Amino acid sequence: MERDETRLKTFPFKFTLAWVVAFALLTPGGRFAVKAQETVPAGKQARDEGLKRYANGDFQGAVESLRRATENINDDPVAWNYLGLALRARGDHKSARKAFERAIKLRPDSATLRAGLADILIFLDKFSEAKKEAERAFALDPNNADANLVIGSIRLLQGSCKSAENHAGDALKNNSKLSGAYLLRSRAILCGFAAPSRQRAKRDLSADEIIAGQTRSAARFGQAAESLEKFLELAPSASNGIWKEQLPALRAYAARVDPDNGSPILSSAEVTTRARVLAKPEPEYTQSAKQSGIVGGVVLRAVFSADGTVKHLIVLNYLPHGLTENAVAAARRIRFEPATKDGRRVSMAFQLEYYFNLT
């Protein structure tokens, strides 16, 4: 029988950070899906009902219908695929994994299904298994949008920012409506700004070099803002989270102007005296992060404004299980002395790093 694969349109899932792949694939749009094939009437009716409920956002109803469908047609990868998607949308990731694995047994050469399983494994913090499935998906079809999205997400988690950005672009070439790919591209661009301060250039820069660097950085922040805006447009259910808060901040960094007061946002190289941190509260290490063995750093960019407040926070490097959100909350409580230029207080961009270790 001839096989054909297609994707649903994109709408967001809930992003922890395994982050990227994760977010857009929960919404009717960035899902991993395969076309339906003719089945027995009873199973087909339940399956079609489940697909309709899933498309309408009724994930619990979809689970119920698709469970009935798989009882009648347990050899249909479409029903198992959408059951996995609906279970994931309901937050039952372990059951979703089983549904995807069942679908793959029926269609082992499907790049789309293997990409879907890899996405679930990322969510379950099974990184090595997720990497293997993502690589299998990409090897099966290097042009598959879902495969590029998930392998790009793996590369982002590995810190390969440029590779992640390239895979996001390749995903969008094949599916311009894949919301998760826009989020991946935005995050991959910001990932490039996340190098620890001790790894930054140690020598003094000339005025021309400073200006050239600022111009490049502003352009990159603008590109990240454009991709994030497109993601939010395609995944409106994500508009109440951390991503919506980042959009105006990215625009501020792209313009190098604080929209709240119209004052310039200066770099450390442009000020006379740099902002000095007086108190930096530590973020809470969440219990779920400890149980999952999550370690690493959350890197943020903020404006230490002339009025003594921390503004325009964006995430350069993300960690899941609430660690990023806790780092952002802690950053807002920082007390500092503002930077000065020619004797006047000014606003300065500042990079913040929070490290989480189990020891």
Q: Are 100 and 113 in contact (CB under 8 A)?
A: yes
Pairing, β 335-337 against β 5-7: unpaired
Give the pLDDT of residue 24. 41
Whole-angstrom distance, CA of residue 251 vs CA of residue 48 = 43
Greatest Cα pair distance in the chain: 80
Give the pLDDT of residue 28. 41
Name the residue type at position 98: K
Count Cβ atoms below 10 Å from residue 209 Cβ, excluding itself: 13
Burial (CB < 10 A; 0-12, 13-18, 19+), residue 69, is buried
Give the pLDDT of residue 19. 37
Give the pLDDT of residue 292. 85
Give the pLDDT of residue 205. 67
Q: How far is CA 140 from CA 3, 133, 167, 258, 339, in A?
A: 14, 11, 15, 47, 54
Q: What is the DSSP string of 69-133?
A: HHHH-TT-HHHHHHHHHHHHHTT-HHHHHHHHHHHHHH-TT-HHHHHHHHHHHHHTT-HHHHHHH
Specify the 3-state DSSP secondary structure of 296.
strand
Give the pLDDT of residue 210. 72
Between helices 77-89 and 111-123, what is the axis angle to 10°?
Answer: 20
Q: Residue 180's Cα: distance from chain center in Å?
A: 7
Q: Are 47 and 69 in contact (CB under 8 A)?
A: yes
Give the pLDDT of residue 11. 27
Q: Are 26 and 11 in contact (CB under 8 A)?
A: yes
Q: Are 110 and 37 in contact (CB under 8 A)?
A: no
Q: Are 144 and 137 in contact (CB under 8 A)?
A: yes
pLDDT digit string, tens, across residues 254-287: 999 998 888 999 998 899 999 999 999 999 999 9
Q: Are 295 and 357 in contact (CB under 8 A)?
A: yes
The parts of the chain modelled with pLDDT lower than 50 are 1-31, 38-39, 197-202
Q: Give the phi and the psi of residue 278 in degrees, each rounded to 5.
A: -100, -35
Task: Tell me the two tokens of residue 46.
Answer: 């339940």
Give the pLDDT of residue 71. 93
Specify the 3-state DSSP secondary structure of 340.
strand
Tell me, yes or no, if the pTM score tops 0.85: no
